[in-house]
Chain A
Amino acid sequence: MPATFAEKLLASAADLPAASAGEVVDAYPGLIMSHAASWRCIRTLERLGTDRLFDPDRIAMVMDHNSPAYTAKTAGDQKLCREFAASHGIAKFYDVDAGIAHVVLMEDGHVRPGMLLIGTDSHSTIYGALGAAGTGVGFSEVAATWVTGYLWMRVPESIKVTIDGPLGPGVFAKDVMLRLIGDLTADGATYCSVEFGGSFAQGLSVSERMTLCNLAMELGAKFAYVPPDDVTRAYLRERGVPGDAYTELFPDPDATYRQEVRIDGPSLSPQISCPHTVDNVKPVEAVAGTRVDQVFIGSCANAKYEDLAQAASILRGRHIAPGVRLIVTPASKKVVQRALDDGILSVLLESGALVTNPGCGACAGDGGVMADGEVTLSTANRNFRGRMGSYQAEIYLGSPAVAAATAVRGAIADPREFTPATEPAVAR
Chain B
Amino acid sequence: MTGGRCVKFGDSVNTDLIMPGRYLVSIDPAELAAHVFEPLGPEVQERVRSSHVIVAGRNFGCGSAREQAASGLVGAGITAVIAESFARVFFRNAINTGLLAIAQPEAAAAAEDGAEVQVDLAASKVTTDGRSFPFPPYPASLVRILEAGGLIPYVAQQLAADGAR
Interface-side segment among A47-55, A196-204, A326-334, A349-357? A47-55
**Chain-B contact segment, one of A88-96, A233-241, A249-257, A379-387:** A379-387
Which residue on A lies nearest to B87, using beta carbons?
A: A220
Contacts A186-B62, A277-B12, A386-B20: A144 and B155 contacting too (C-beta < 8 A)?
yes
Q: Is A64 in the interface zone, CB < 8 Å from B?
A: no
- Flag if A386 contacts B17 (CB, 8 Å): yes
Q: Is the pair A220, B152 in contact by a Cβ cutoff of 8 Å? A: no
Q: Are B89 and A136 in contact (CB under 8 A)?
A: yes
User: Which residues of A in the span 375-424 have a Cβ within 8 Å of any Cβ on B?
Assistant: 382, 384-387, 391
B159 contacts the other chain (CB 8 A): yes
B50 at the A/B interface (Cβ < 8 Å)? no
Task: Determine the interface band of chain A, counting residues with CB < 8 A from chain B.
Answer: 35 or more
Contact, CB under 8 Å: A138 / B16:
no
The minimal Cβ–Cβ distance linking A223 to chain B, given in whole angstroms, is: 11
C-alpha spacing A403/B22, complex, angstroms: 25
- Distance from B87 Cβ to chain A, minimum over Cβ atoms (Å): 6
Contact A191:B20 (CB < 8 A) given known A141-B96, A144-B152: no
Is A338 engaged at the interface, CB distance under 8 Å to the other chain?
no
Set A47, A220, A382: member contacting B156, Cβ < 8 A? A47
Contact B27 A220 (CB under 8 A): no
Q: Are B25 and A71 in contact (CB under 8 A)?
A: yes
Give the residues in chain B near A71, CB-CB below 8 Å. 25
Q: Which residues of B contact A190 (CB under 8 A)?
A: 59, 85-88
Query: Which of A44, A121, A277, A382 has a CB less than 8 Å from the CB of B27?
Result: A44
**Chain A nearest CB: distance from B105 CB in Å?**
13
| Complex Cα gap A49–B93 (Å) | 21
Kindly state whether residue B42 has any CB partner on chain A within 8 Å. no
Chain A residues with CB under 8 A of B72? none
Q: Digitize B12-45: 1 where CB-to-A-CB distance is under 8 Å, 0 elsewhere.
A: 1010110011101101000000000011000000
Interface string of B74-96 (1 = CB under 8 A from A): 00000000000111110011001
Interface status of B112 (Cβ within 8 A of chain A): no
Are A148 and B155 in contact (CB-based, < 8 A)?
Answer: yes
Specify the chain B residue showing the minimal Cβ separation from A45: B152
- Shortest Cβ distance from A146 into chain B, in angstroms? 10
Docked CA distance A96–B17 (Å): 27
The answer to whether B27 and A138 touch across the interface, beta carbons within 8 angstroms, is no
Q: Say yes or no: is A187 at the interface (Cβ < 8 Å to chain B).
A: yes
Compute how far the CA of A223 lies from the CA of B85 in the bound complex, rounded to whole angstroms: 18
- State which residues 114-165 of B face A: CB under 8 Å: 139, 141-142, 150-153, 155-156, 159-160
Query: Number of contacts between A and B (CB, 8 Å)?
Result: 117
Say yes or no: A152 contacts B141, CB within 8 Å: yes
CB distance from A389 to the nearest CB of B (A): 9
Min CB–CB distance B137 → chain A (angstroms): 13
**Given A141-B151, A187-B62, A387–B16 Cβ distance below 8 Å?**
yes
Cα(A370)–Cα(B17), bound, Å: 17
Once the chains bind, are A386 and B39 in contact (CB under 8 Å)? Answer: yes
Instruction: Determine if A187 and B159 form an interchain contact, defined as CB atoms under 8 angstroms apart.
Output: no
Q: Is the CB of A186 within 8 A of B70?
A: no
B97 interfacial by beta-carbon distance below 8 Å:
yes
Asked whether B109 is an interface residue with its Cβ less than 8 Å from the other chain, the reply is: no
Distance A330 CA – B27 CA, assembled complex (angstroms): 29
Q: Are A24 and B139 touching (Cβ within 8 A)?
A: yes
Could you show 26 A-B contacts with beta carbons less than 8 Å apart?
A24-B141, A47-B152, A50-B159, A122-B64, A124-B65, A137-B92, A137-B93, A138-B65, A138-B89, A138-B96, A140-B96, A140-B150, A141-B93, A141-B96, A144-B151, A152-B141, A186-B12, A190-B85, A190-B86, A191-B88, A277-B14, A365-B22, A382-B64, A384-B16, A385-B16, A386-B17
Report B's interface with A, CB cutoff 8 A. 12, 14, 16-17, 20-22, 24-25, 27, 38-39, 58-59, 62-67, 70, 85-89, 92-93, 96-97, 139, 141-142, 150-153, 155-156, 159-160
- Please give 5 more A-B residue pairs, beta carbons under 8 A apart, in addition to A187-B12, A365-B20: A77-B25, A190-B86, A190-B87, A220-B88, A364-B21
